Structure 1
Amino acid sequence: MSEVITIRVDRKTRTRLEKLAKAMERTKSYVAAEAIRAYVELNEWQIAEIKTALTEADGGDFATEKEVQAVMRKWSRRADKMA
């Protein structure tokens, strides 16, 4: 079940939203809700990954110098092949 919220956007954004909704044959509400859903999903994922990384770092879970060098060699070889 959906719920109603009210947001304020500038006139230019509203016009762009209207044009996009018309081109998609959707309502402005649908397009705005999809944009908000995608934004929330992306940011939830990023924040969760950052928190996980901070927990690992606080626990001393870092790559060794040898592991970092191995990854650098791998990517350097791939870059050389593409050049």
Structure 2
Amino acid sequence: MSLMSLRIPDEIAETLANLAKATGRTKSYLVVDALRVYLAREAWQVEEIQKALKEADADDFASDEDVRGIAQKWKANAS
């Protein structure tokens, strides 16, 4: 396991300490858990953007007719 040192604003440190006390978890546990969630979400987002760019490079777009059909479907469902 790696060791990392960082500076955080006092209000975040206080919130972290309060949450750790309330949940019976360590501050390290909470920070690692929050980083794990954040990094998973960001990695997913980057992967989806990369997929979309590959589709765009391959000219794999919806036609104007496809887009109009979907818009009409959503309008009908909203009514």
In the alignment, what sits opposite 2:23?
24
Residue 48 of structure 2 is aligned to residue 44 of structure 1: no
Tell me how large the CA RMSD over aligned residues is: 1.0
Q: Number of residues paired by the alignment?
A: 79
The TM-score normalised by the length of structure 1 is 0.89
Q: What is the letter of the counterpart of residue 5 of structure 1? A: M
SS at match of 1:62: coil
SS at match of 2:41: helix
Q: Which moved more, 1:19-28 or 1:31-40?
A: 19-28
The TM-score normalised by the length of structure 2 is 0.93
Deviating 4+ runs (over 3 angstroms):
none
Offset of 1:74 from its aligned partner?
1.3
**% identity of equivalent residues:** 38
Offset of 1:22 from its aligned partner?
1.4
Offset of 1:3 from its aligned partner?
2.6
Q: Which runs of 5+ in 2 are unaligned?
A: none
- 1:63-82 alignment to 2 at 5 Å? 63-80=62-79
